[in-house]
Each structure stands twice: as C-alpha cells, then as structure tokens.
Amino acid sequence: MKMRIVVIGANAAGAKAASKAKRINPKADVTLIDRGSFISYGACGIPYYVSDTVSDIKELMSTPVGVVRDAGFFKKVKGVNVKTNTEVTRIDREAKVVHLLETNTTEKTFLEYDRLILATGSSPFIPKISNVNLQNILTVKYIEDAELLKNCAISGDTACIVGGGLIGLETAEALQQRGMKVTVIEMQEQLLPGVLDQEMAFLVEKQLRLQGVSVMTGCRVTGFTGMKTVEKVIIGERELPADLVVLAPGVTPNSGLARAAGIDIGITGAIAVDARLCTNDPYIYACGDCCEVTHLITGKKVHIPLGSTANKQGRVAGINAAGGEATFSGVIGTSILRVFNINAGRTGLTETEARANGYDIETVLSPAHDKAHFFPGAKPIVLKLIAERATGILLGLQAVGEGVVDKRLDAAATAITFHATAEQLSQIDLAYAPPYSAAMDNIIVAADIMKNKLAGHGRGISPHEVMRKLDEEDDFILLDVRSSAEHAEIGIEGAKLIPLGMLRERLNELPQDKEIVTFCKISLRGYEAQKILDAAGFKNTKYMDGGILAWPYALRTK
C-alpha cells in the first residue's frame, strides 16, 4: 500500500516539503492542501510588486524560467496532488484523518494520512483597537493583499504604516514610490525593534526622513475613524489623516489547528518540534512560520518567521515524513532589508539581546567603504560587531549603509554559526580586489578593533553613550581630532577641535583630571589620539566608536 503523505499549507514550507517528500519516496501519494486560491508564492516580494519593481504579479508565483507554480505544475512536474480553496477543519490523530471543507461550497470531506506535515504558516497580527475593520486598512501577507494594496495606492493620498519592522519599512518605500505621503508609526522608541540596536536603527531612520517619509516612534495607535473607509489614525489625543493604513506590527503563528488536535505548543505560541521537526505525535511534522526553532547561540526556543528558514525546514520535514533522516539545527536570526538607498541587516544577537541573555560583551562600531575608497562607486557602511568579553567568541553583527552589507552579514553568519572568535575572524581569507572591498575589509577591521578592545588597548564608547553624556551635561571633554576643514563641514555641538597632527604640541590645553573622549571621521584617528593621550599620562581616555560616520543624531551636528 502506498504511503499517504498530507501537507497542510502550500506556500514556502509546505510546497517544499511536499516536493521533497515525493522525490524521497516516489511511490508515496502526496497531497498538498491550501485554503487559498494561490500557492507557492513569494510573499516577501509583495512590496516590490506594489512599487512596480516587479511588474507582473505572476512573477511572485513563477519558477526562475517563468512557469507558474499552480496545481497543474505540481501535478505534472512534482507528482503532487493539490487541493486549493480547501480548509482543514480538524485533525483526528487517532484515526489519522484530516477533515476538509471546500471554501466555495458546503461540501465536507476527509482525507486519510500515514504522515502529516503542518505548514500552516502565520497570520498578520491585528491589534484589538477601535474601527480596525474599516475599509482601506490592509495587511501585507497574502497574494490577494498585493492587488488590493496596489489599487489603493493613489498618488497624492496619505498612507500610515503601523509598525516599523522589516515589512513596514519595505511597504513604506513602495507606497512613497507610488506618490503617496507616508508616515511610519512605531510604538517602540526606534524603528526595526528586535532587528537592530538603537544607534544602528537611527541610521535607517535618517534615510527615511531624507526621502520624505515621516517617522513617529514611541507612539501607540489607539484607533481609527471614518464612516466606511478609514479617514484618520488616532494616536492618543492626536489624529492623523489617512486614506490608506497598512497594519504591519508583526505576525502570529497559525497553531490553532495543531492546538485543537492536542499537539504540543511551545513557549513562543508556535508548534513545538524536535530537531527532525517532529511534533509530540510521531506521525505529524511541522515546518515554517507555524513552528518554533532553536536559537543556535542562546539555545532557547524562538519564533523567527522567514522565508529562507521555511524553505530549509520544509526540505527537512519532507525527507523525514517520507522515511528519510534529516535534521534542522536552528537559526541565528539573520535578516536584511533595503529601504530607499540604505541596506540594513543583522545576524546573531544584538547588543540588547546579548545583555538580556546574560552575556558580558564588548561591542565595536566600524564605518568604512564597501570597496576600496578610491574605486568609483564606493559607498559607506557601518558595522556593529558584538563578542563575548571573556572568550572573544562572536555573538552578532549588524550592518547599515548605502554600500554592500549582505556579504559582511553572510561572512559573520558563517563565523557565528561555527563559534568563531574575533581572532579567527580577523584572519579569515576574504576575496579582495578594489571593485569588491578594501585590502582590509571592514569586517576584518571590526574584528581587529574588537581584539584591541578585548586586550585593553582600545577603550571605546558608543555614540549613544556620548549623547547621554552631552544631554546630562557630564563633566567631560569631547575631542574632535579631524582637520579644521572636516570640522567646519560637520561637527558635534560642544566638541573641542585639536587636529591629530597638532595634538602632541597642544596637550597643555587638555586637563589631566577630566575624562576625554576622542573622535574623528571613523575613529581610527580617534584611537590614535587616545594612545597619544595615554602615553602622555592622561588617565581617563576613550574614543567614540565609529566616529562621525556612526553619529546618528543629526540634530546635534552643526
């Protein structure tokens, strides 16, 4: 008798699981079920369709050679049966049966299985606030959302994005490019909360503001007003006009079907699975956004829904359901986005997460160009490297800038996955030629700075901490060691200028009993200034990490 494998959910994880199961066990009867009309589409591409970067919506549902991945494609090419517009209403684990309801009819049927794979995905989080069901309040998750959002994006109208995460910012760009006046509202004190630390997120926020997008952080939306269609967004006592609202505060795992069947749910609210992606029922697997995963650094269970993870998990679940052996070890939270001219991403733990997990850490901010500075087209990027102080083991990297950041993130993701130290990263043999990087790539420089800090040679202080000191009027000297021309172009209010080349002869201008924080463009000269001051007997010297290029507080410059 043929093995019967049923997969619930026909997007990234489910489509991959069904296809892989059929390849592993060609004699198996594999059925893929989805409650929607469209299957196996790239939801992450929706903002790019809205902005016309992707011209045809079919491209989000097609193979690289242009074949649409519909039910006919899966039957003919993959050998997988597909049931669309079909809701799974119940799982009977004892009888090994799933109960079905065709959404366009009232017909109820059932399907028997030997192995079941849950790939039910996630749903947009809809806040429980007044009038959230008004027309033109949309989400960005399903293929149907793409057409609706594009039709509502009218040039000259106003749009509010509720949520300053990855999807929220990508959608903000898409709507702004269609001529809308866009405001991003985030209840946390920064954009990209949980993705970047504050000083890195501020660099992204500066770019949005430069492009004409209004940004409101630390603001909670409490409701909407309008007759049938949304007209205003309510933020406490304030109201903002809005012809279109996009809800993008995050997603929640679709674990209800599993929960009702008695399948274990983890501490994150997603389905609990082992390394083989098997649930507490040995005949049922789960993969993709509906299940939780292990964080490879902390060892804790997390819910980090990404299409890349879903595809990898779908492959593992399909292999195991078909009788093979495969494992999925976990994730380190790598993510990336492009918004206007800025690329931003992270891998591993942020500083905030590392401290929350009890790590004693050191951090580095390292600005540089993404290729040799003299090569045409070289653009700036800022890296933030995080390592455990006692061991030097790398814990995380963040990267923001107009230049190429993905390859630095990928190199760091590899290093972090294999528990590399700053010493090992500093010696890694990266590809070099002027069109691609500097001879000492920024990630190598960041690792060297980290080594200096861990060894006690360099004592850095973050721009955020410098800002705090300025705001609280701490008794310290902020010393700018750039040239007079650089200082005149852009500076930090309250800083004292002594160019590095004059520092040795002007040491008498600096008091020995005060804290001195030095900086330059990227703080290479700032570090050299700190060493000069140390040698001259100054006892309390530091340099500002990242220099002026990492200074995100535009209002404090002159």
Among residues 249, 274, 296, the one where a domain terminates is: 249
Query: Is 44 one of the catalytic residues?
Result: yes
- The pLDDT score that the predictor gives to residue 556 is 42
C-alpha distances out from residue 553 to 348, 419, 490, Å: 26, 34, 12
- Percent share of the chain, pLDDT over 70: 99
Per-residue pLDDT, 450: 96
Instruction: Evaluate whether residue 299 is within a structural domain.
Output: yes
How do residues 184-243 score in pLDDT, each as one tens digit? 999 999 999 999 999 999 999 999 999 999 999 999 999 999 999 999 999 988 999 999
Q: Is a pLDDT exceeding 70 seen at residue 86?
A: yes
Which residue has better confidence, 467 or 7? 7
Task: Tell whether the model's pLDDT for residue 400 goes beyond 60.
Answer: yes
Long-range CB contacts for residues 147-150, cutoff 8 Å, separation at least 24: 147/57, 149/46, 149/50, 149/246, 150/49, 150/50, 150/178
For residues 472-497, average pLDDT: 90
- d(CA 341, CA 101) in angstroms, rounded, equals 47
Catalytic residue from among 44, 160, 278, 291 = 44
pLDDT at 251 over 60: yes
* Domains contained in the chain, number: 4
The last residue of one of the domains, among 454, 486, 515, is 454
User: Contact at 8 Å (CB) between 279 and 287?
Assistant: no
Structure tokens at 323: 């009788």
- What pLDDT score does 65 carry? 87
Q: Indicate whether 434 and 287 sit together in one domain.
A: no
Whether 558 shows a pLDDT value over 50: the answer reads no
Assess whether pLDDT exceeds 90 at residue 180.
yes
Q: Tens of pLDDT along 271-292?
A: 999 999 999 999 999 999 999 9
Helices 463-471 & 198-210 angle (0-180, nearest 10): 80
Q: Return the CATH number at 547.
A: 3.40.250.10
> 305 with 317, same domain?
yes
Are 212 and 293 part of one and the same domain? no
User: Do 317 and 349 belong together in one domain?
Assistant: no
Examine residue 79 and state whether it is found in any structural domain, yes or no.
yes
Are residues 405 and 468 both part of a single domain? no
In terms of domains, do 171 and 218 share one? yes
Average pLDDT, the chain: 93
Same domain? For 178 and 275 the reply is no
Q: Is residue 518 part of a domain?
A: yes
Query: Is the domain of 242 the same as that of 294?
Result: no
Tell me, yes or no, whether 299 and 362 share the same domain: no
pLDDT value of residue 289: 97
Q: Which residues contact 505 (CB under 8 A, 6 or more apart)?
A: none
Say which CATH number the domain at 364 has: 3.30.390.30
How far, in Å, CA of 473 to CA of 399, rounded? 30
Q: Is residue 331 part of a domain?
A: no
Residue range 355-379: mean pLDDT, rounded: 95
User: Is 70 exceeded by the pLDDT of residue 557?
Assistant: no
- Here the CATH number for the domain that contains residue 173 is 3.50.50.60
Does residue 415 sit within a domain? yes
Using alpha carbons, select from 351, 370, 458, 355 the residue that is nearest to residue 411: 370
**Each residue of 414-424: pLDDT tens digit?**
999 999 999 99
Within 10 angstroms of residue 448's Cβ, the number of other Cβ atoms is 19
Name the residue with higher pLDDT: 42 or 172: 172
| Domain-located, residue 225 | yes
Residue 49 and residue 93 in one domain: yes
- The model's confidence at residue 18, banded by pLDDT at 50, 70 and 90, is very high
> 49 with 150: CB under 8 angstroms?
yes
Range of the domain at 273: 4-121+252-321
Domain-located, residue 326: no
The mean pLDDT of 86-98, rounded to a whole number, is 96
Q: What is the mean pLDDT of residues 340-354?
A: 97
- Is residue 554 very low, low, confident or very high in pLDDT (cuts 50, 70, 90)? very low
Indicate if 262 and 370 belong to the same structural domain.
Answer: no
The last residue of one of the domains, among 215, 249, 283, is 249
C-alpha 497/C-alpha 491 separation (Å) is 9
Order of all β-strands in the sheet with 394-401 = 335-339, 342-348, 394-401, 380-388, 361-369
Residues 473 and 446 in one domain: no
Instruction: Please check whether residue 531 lies inside any domain of the structure.
Output: yes
List, in order, residues 6 or more apart from 256 with CB less than 8 Å away: none
